[in-house]
Structure 1
Amino acid sequence: MFPTDLMVEVRPRRIFANGHTYHVNSISVNSDGETYLSADDLRINMWHLDITDRSFNIVDIKPANMEDLTEVITAAEFHPQHCHLFVYSSSKGTLRLCDMRESALCDKHSKIFEEPEDPGNRSFFSEIISSVSDVKFSHSGRYLLTRDYLTVKVWDLNMEKGPVETYQVHEYLRSKLCSLYENDCIFDKFECVWNSTDSVIMTGAYNSFFRMFDRETGRGVTLEAWRESSKPRAVLRTRRIYTGGRRRRGDVGVDSLDFTKKILHMAWHPAENIIAIAATNNLYIFQDRVNAENL
């Protein structure tokens, strides 16, 4: 007998087939515990968990002529408490809140959330960087969290005219958009998550960095997911991007960032201060030191 590493094998319990023509970008389980939605670029379908061979189409934005297509669906999620509400985002930076009580086919939204564009900042990349890559309801159900290429934004469901909070994730990349477009990094889809109390938000960046923002103070911190920090009881180091002025020890220059090391996927424990970070082919799990000592 030889000792071997633990091997985990995944077996599908059910296969829900033939629901989409394009790649699925979102799956969200409904609060009723019986249904879920799946979304691709042009359609959103609702499924029953016990019925695998058919689904009900609730959103279809495919035009009669594909040359008339102006936007695609980028993400979708059910409301955490109200089973009749869901939201989906688009490549134009808009959010549409839909109510399934109003119509079986939700092509007409109940509310639309979008931020007016500043004509002074208009550029070739404006539409690309405004595309929403992820949308998440807060646990309370009152707010929406969205991520575009440069920022994360918090929206109030009662205020459609614009976000109530905007946090800069990596504004220092604005001057690098041309090279990021050439290497396709500008199309990266970053996710965003809330903590259990909706007081802190988190999202990913490049160079194995990820960002956390405290909503009460508005302050952000940059942390790094790397092998040394994954050792037991190791403390995560805060990092700083050098963009000018006085350079401190440990600062990382914008030109030395590794754009192949990107953190696109992450999750926050629903009740504890435990986070999971996917960095390239590594999965890191970090826990709040205060809580860890009490376990």
Structure 2
Amino acid sequence: MKQLGTILIIVMLCLSCQKDDHQIENLNGNKISILGHGGMGINSAYPINTLESIIRSLNSGADGVEIDVQMTKDSILVAYHNRNLSAETDMEGEIFSKTWKEIQDARYTTSPYLDYKIASLNSIFNSIKNKNDYLFALDVKVPYHHKEIEKYSLTLARALKQLINDQNINSRVIIESPDTGFINLLIKENVNAKLAFYLRDFDLACQFAEDNSLYGIVTSDDHINKEQVSNAHQKNIRVILFNVDDKEDNREAIRLNPDIIQTDKLKHLVKLLK
């Protein structure tokens, strides 16, 4: 009886990682690109957006990685998600109000992440071999409450442009933003990246993307259906899915025929698609 139970567990594990046989149809050569959410994803062995998490994801079969991006007071781009440093680290305040020197030694405070630090984007890209083999989705966080938001946004756009040019990754970067004004600024500044707009309203997102010849739209996997994805593809708009949190989400996301999936269950999605 004990042996039968062991066999059943093994069978269930094999089924959970069985390659998905869904016929994919999209604008990405009928293949779905797999991006790790902040690296290996939430609840992994590493905090998201850290150098260690990002490198591990690229070594685990990902086609690329999604990174949350903010800018310091002295125009250094860093990988961090939350508005306030105190949400995850032993420092307080917002990144835009601090210099890189002030925050570079900030450590994460949640166990088991105590040994990890905030990373600058330059340090991340300098640590990645064969950068042009991967895709990088930069989810740029604009602090709309900044007292000099227009000046800040322009500096941010130019910092992104310089990073992309300096790292020679022009064809490998997607910049994601929910701000039409910031996207228009990126276009005006000739930032050489694929631009993607995210908004909960699919029709509005698609219309803006079409009107501005954007690369694509970014949406939660539970805010879109297969027909809408197909409609976007007919307009030459690529679809990037996020909020793909678990194994079932991975399977559901595949069935929607997106071009890119940002997942928290990276290894599982790699097994399904590769």
Judge same fold: TM > 0.5, yes or no: no
Largest Rg, 1 or 2: 1
Provide TM-score, normalisation by structure 2: 0.24
RCO (CA 8 Å, sep 6+): is it higher in 1 or 2? Answer: 2
Q: Greater strand percent: which structure?
A: 1
